[in-house]
A and B are shown apart, each in its own frame.
Chain A
Amino acid sequence: MRYESTGDESESFRNQGEAVLDNQELRLRPPRNRVESRAIGWWTLQSSLFALPLPLVFGVLYLTIGPARFVFGPLFLAALVPGLLYMGVMPIWRYRVHRWEMTDEAVYAASGWLWQRWRVVPLSRVQTVDMLRGPLQQMFRLSGITVTSASSSGAVKIKGLDHGTATELVEQLTRSTQAVPGDAT
């Protein structure tokens, strides 16, 4: 559910009549760049690692232990259906949400699916920039970037970037954060 396509929000605004300042409504616009569409594949594979083992075990038990089929049949379905739903919904939903943008002043990124998060960190406050590629990400030629600031509240993570784009972005970030003096607290 992207941020733009939430017309129902303005509905509720109207009902509340509280969110109007100077007769203008403020909204957060989504960051400009989407992550790679290959990330959908990556997320699907990743979620299958969580979602499939349990139904698989039940499935094997169902096939091998004849007398206990009445137990393992429903268990198999009960484990498989939510797993498949998760695998089907989460990656696409994530792909619609996950976005990033870098301006001259700040890094801006959106992530999550059910719980969504938008983060802005000014370049002047960036302390370190890391790039990480897990084995699965490497299979899909993807990279993740972690931008940390002095706050212990966690870093801005942009996952599912093309490796080339990520390298370029890291270089850019490093260059522009070096240009700013101070200890970034």
Chain B
Amino acid sequence: MTPDTAVREAEHAQDDPWGRLNPRLFLVNLSVVATPLVTFGATTVLTGGEVNLQVLITCATFLITCLVISGISLMRLITTRYRITEDRVELHKGWLFRSQRSVPVDRIRSVDLTANPLHRIFGLTSLKVSTGDQASSGGGLSLDGLSNRDADALRSRLSELRHARQGLRTADGDTDTTIAELDWAWLRYAPLTLWGVGGVFIAVGSVYRTLHEMKIDPLELGIVKDLEDRFGSVPLWYGILVALLVIVLIGVAGSTATFIEGWGGYRLDRPETGMLRVRRGLLITRSVSIEEQRLRGVEVAEPLLLRWAGGARVKAVASGLGDEDENSSRSRLTPPVPLALARRIAADVLGAEVSPTDEADLAPHPRAALRRRINRALRWVVLIAAPFVGLGLWLTPALVHTGWITALVLLPVCLAFAHDAYRNLGHAVHGPYLVTRAGTFTRRTAAVQRDGIIGWSITRSVFQRKAGLLTLGAATAAGSGVYKVRDVSVSEGLALAEEAVPGLLAPFIERHPARR
């Protein structure tokens, strides 16, 4: 196809030639070996040319490991070959352990391109073909190290084939198929994803551990000592306040950086009929394609801070996106965006005028659900305050005071959360969708196609049985697997299930005349 393509051998009696990985992959491997050499060089220079045995051994082990790794990937480069026939993709690889895999074109659910920074330097891309098989990674196949042009050609050839087989048309080149594109104004929402603050703790923890492993106590380092000397005399509360502020600032910087890396160049479009594609990433570019046939709904998620700032994220509820971890990163359709836009995108993705997640008239849940949430809030207050009081009774009255003051401060906060959680509960059947909303720390509104519901799971705790509530779980093959309508009254919940999927639950429902 292109001169870029490596050796192509024409298989006898076959029109479809075998493709190979790009030879530039060899350079990538070489650069892996370069790391220990550079390290060695740097160490030698730093120590002034004196090479002691320990450094030598360390670098030698490092070098050998890297040689083995690059040897393996070199082997992969030589032995891997692939081809596309009319109805399937075939991949042959391995030398000692030869594996041959063929995936029928009809089974392909998505074709993704990703490129890590090292690959990008050399203009390479990885292509991953996934099938609907959610349970195992055995379903799809991946080609690691194609040239960009080959990968693009392969992807469009696969989509052409699929469309030809399904009798669909590819979108015209002229029409604008973009649903959403990155707007740097969204960067203002980036700090509001709490991820960054947690990330600071993780980073500090891992740095401390690494230093500790190397027998360096970070608290004894000069710079820390210096800080301690300078600020050791300030009051404790001031120190804590400053520390918190620093953590939050680093967290904000971290989340912003994550946003820029993860969502730079973001674009959501329909490259062809019946296919959604998300492209994003600055250093690592990711491209996820979701077949609309596999799309079972959308979820609008509003983490607390983001909700206060009027932002939201949209996720796809789709099957065939891989296991739980893969699903959570690959189902993202948008970064944090303004709520109105999130709604518009959700509607656009589903091909509706207005998204069912906000158009649906959500029914409130019974008051007993509020009681359950208030009880939960009180339990948290007690759990947090009790240790102070307990320790205080044992040690010093000061802690008892801390305890009840904590409880007093926490009480209204927790009660407010409980009320918010209750207000956020809601459910509805809207057109072809079952819509459910819940959560206070992250409010999630999910709309799931009623056709996609493949079973019900009803759970009741002791409290729920006493209060006449149940949690109705709609099992699907898509997304997180089950979408719950929490704490709905028994009668209402069963009626909802029956309305959403008529006939499934009906044989197991008894009707009683209402006793008034």
Contact = CB atoms under 8 A, between A and B. Distances in A.
Nearest to A118: B458
Nearest to B492: A19
B482 A151 contact: yes
Interface string A146-185: 0001111110100000000000000000000000000111
A13 B510 contact: no
A15 B324 CA distance: 42
A116 B507 CA distance: 20
Interface string B445-476: 00000001011111111100111100001011
B262 interface: no
B215 interface: no
Interface stretch (A4-12, A39-47, A51-59, A61-69): A4-12
B496 to A, nearest CB: 10
A14 to B, nearest CB: 7
B458 A28 contact: yes
Contacts of B515: 10, 14, 25
A93 B490 CA distance: 21
A1 B465 contact: yes
Contacts of B465: 1, 6, 9, 116
Interface in B483-516: 489-492, 494-495, 498, 503-505, 507-516
B511 A25 contact: yes
Nearest to B135: A152
Contacts of B436: none
A117 B367 CA distance: 23
A83 interface: no
B29 interface: no
A26 interface: yes
B459 A116 contact: yes
Interface stretch (A70-78, A119-127, A134-142): A119-127
A156 B505 CA distance: 15
Contacts of A101: 508
A85 interface: no
A31 interface: yes
Contacts of B513: 23-25
A103 B508 CA distance: 10
Which secondary structure dominates chain A's binding surface? mixed
Contact of B459 (A9, A12, A117): A117
B514 A20 contact: yes
Contacts of A112: 459
Nearest to A150: B477
A31 B507 CA distance: 10
Which of A1, A13, A121, A152 has the most B CB atoms < 10 Å from its CB? A152
Which secondary structure dominates chain B's binding surface? mixed
Contacts of B511: 24-27
Contact of B458 (A21, A29, A117, A149): A117
B475 A151 contact: yes
Contacts of B460: 115-117
Which of B367, B368, B457, B482 has the most A CB atoms < 10 Å from its CB? B457
A150 B507 contact: no
- Size category of the binding interface on chain A: 35 or more
A95 interface: no
A121 B514 CA distance: 29
A21 B495 contact: yes
A103 B503 CA distance: 12
Contacts, number: 165
Contacts of A21: 491-492, 495
B132 interface: yes
A122 B509 contact: no
A21 B466 CA distance: 21
Contacts of B482: 151, 153
Interface residues of B, number: 50
Nearest to A10: B515
B199 interface: no
B134 interface: yes
A10 to B, nearest CB: 6
B147 interface: no
Nearest to A104: B507
Contact of A27 (B134, B467, B512): B512
Given A117-B459, A153-B481, A25 B514 contact: yes
B459 A185 contact: no
Nearest to B475: A151
Given A8-B466, A106-B504, A122-B454, A28 B494 contact: yes
B338 interface: no
Contact of B132 (A24, A118, A121, A185): A185
B14 to A, nearest CB: 30
Given A14-B515, A151-B482, A31 B134 contact: no
A13 B489 CA distance: 8
Nearest to A184: B454
Contact of B509 (A28, A105, A121, A183): A28
A27 B492 CA distance: 10
Interface string B425-460: 000000000000000000000000000101111111
A16 B460 CA distance: 18
Which of B455, B461, B466, B481 has the most A CB atoms < 10 Å from its CB? B455
B495 A151 contact: no
B491 A13 contact: yes
Contacts of B504: 105-106, 120, 122
B110 interface: no
A153 B491 contact: no
Contacts of B473: 153
Contacts of A152: 134-135, 324, 477, 480-481
A150 to B, nearest CB: 4
A20 to B, nearest CB: 4
Contact of B366 (A19, A29, A153): A19
A21 B496 CA distance: 11
B457 A119 contact: yes
Contact of A153 (B457, B498, B516): B457
Nearest to B489: A19
8 contacts: A9-B490, A10-B512, A13-B490, A25-B491, A26-B511, A106-B504, A153-B475, A153-B482
Given A18-B366, A120-B456, 13 more contacts: A24-B491, A25-B513, A28-B510, A105-B503, A106-B507, A118-B456, A119-B457, A122-B455, A125-B455, A149-B477, A150-B454, A151-B482, A153-B481
